[in-house]
Structure 1
């Protein structure tokens, strides 16, 4: 009887404290490197987007990447620039979308978190 109560107590303790025997999963938000701050992108041109993958955690929660454009900090989730790539690749080529000219654009890289890159401009 004592053994059964101890096993139950250990199970309940693990459940309430969040202890798990599975490997922990880490959020990975690699910093965007290009386009660089102040760079001017031209609508319709191809752009190589890069990010630093030099220090990924051992267990990443989601390696499937998505790139979206943000203007003034507002992300355009409905029109992603790229989806379905491995964030450990460290780069992806996009086509600069036909959007309003402006100087407050940023790319956001999503894997298991969103990571804003530096501000750049888009022109025709």
Structure 2
């Protein structure tokens, strides 16, 4: 199981967001390069291979400026056997979710299985 940062609406933020390309530490470093070291947006953009506009928005705190209000638990591949074991014992999905402390474990399980099958056929 792993925990991901979420905002007040329960949506993933920062490096835990599904479309994130930079880690939280890279975001901090970008801001530090600009604020502390005085590097321009263009130079930072070349270093991180992102657009100058993206760097500008990061440095102006228009992007990646949310702070986590809570954490959400998500299953990993290692949790698949346990989920399958609980289901084989006759537990319904809400019971499995409660037992593992993971909201919506059914949807997460389906995504994990699909990802695993995709990797097997690749």
TM-score of the pair, normalised by structure 1 = 0.23
Structure with larger Rg: 1
Bigger fraction of residues in helix: 2
Bigger fraction of residues in strand: 1
